[in-house]
Amino acid sequence: MTRYLRRFSRTERTLHWVNALGFFMLLATGLILYLPSLSVLVGRRPLIKDLHAWSGVGWVCALALIALLGDRRGLLRTARELDTFDADDVRWLRRRRPAPQGRFNAGQKVNASLNAAFTVLFLVSGLLLWLGERDTRFRFASTVVLHDGVMYVALALLAGHLYLALIHPATRHSLRGMTVGTVDEDWARAHHPKWAAGSADDAHS
């Protein structure tokens, strides 16, 4: 009988999927604006531009709303987890083993911090591009370099994330944690032993 451990709360999962939805919406509309071949294919540039800008606003507002209306205390706890690196996390990053991991491994923690920073940078550079069209005080020669540069790095991280979550045989079980919320206890003990040991008590079959 397989036992499952609850890894992600409803608030965490909602936040993740709304974040993903917003990211892909912005990626799709952004690429249409960015790639000439797509621009020509789709046309309707003013519409796509509005869609892109307002998706960005909606994305950030939705994330803030979920954080406010959801399990705030749980999210703060999660943020602290992501912030904290113990000696094993440092060993994990240096590829030393054994390095038993908690609910998040050190790579996931770095990924989370980077993506949070990218959200801020996307928002700031996007707003500057938007305002810069109307007022030269907001126009900087490097805004577009920043917006595009963050896009490239975020896309590379996303590719790694999708590979690990969907394809890599050893890790793709984690997708279950982000969809239904629970993961196989044996899998958790193998990949996140420090967390699995602590939460096995409230496990449900």
Q: Residue numbers of the site for other proteins (CB under 8 A)?
A: 33-37, 39-40, 43-47, 82-91, 98, 100, 109-110, 112-114, 116-118, 120-121, 124-125, 128-129, 132-137, 139-146, 149-150, 186, 189-190, 193, 197
Query: What is residue 119's three-state secondary structure?
Result: helix
Token output for 16: 């993740």
| Residue 10 or 44 having the CB closest to other proteins | 44
Q: Which helix (H) or strand (E) holds 154?
A: helix 143-162
| Residue 68 or 141 having the CB closest to other proteins | 141
Token output for 31: 């690429």
| Residue 3 or 139 having the CB closest to other proteins | 139
| Residue 3 or 10 having the CB closest to other proteins | 3
Residue 135 φ/ψ region, left for φ over 0, alpha for ψ in the -120 to 50 degree band, beta for the rest: beta
Token output for 139: 């126009």
| Residue 69 or 149 having the CB closest to other proteins | 149
If we measure between CA atoms, which residue out of 197, 15, 193, 34 comes closest to residue 105? 193
In DSSP terms, which residues pair with 5 in a beta bridge?
Answer: 183
For residue 105, with 0-12 CB atoms within 10 Å meaning exposed, 13-18 middle and 19 or more buried, which class applies?
A: buried
Minimum distance of other proteins from residue 118's CB (angstroms): 7
Minimum distance of other proteins from residue 204's CB (angstroms): 21
Minimum distance of other proteins from residue 150's CB (angstroms): 6
Minimum distance of other proteins from residue 148's CB (angstroms): 8
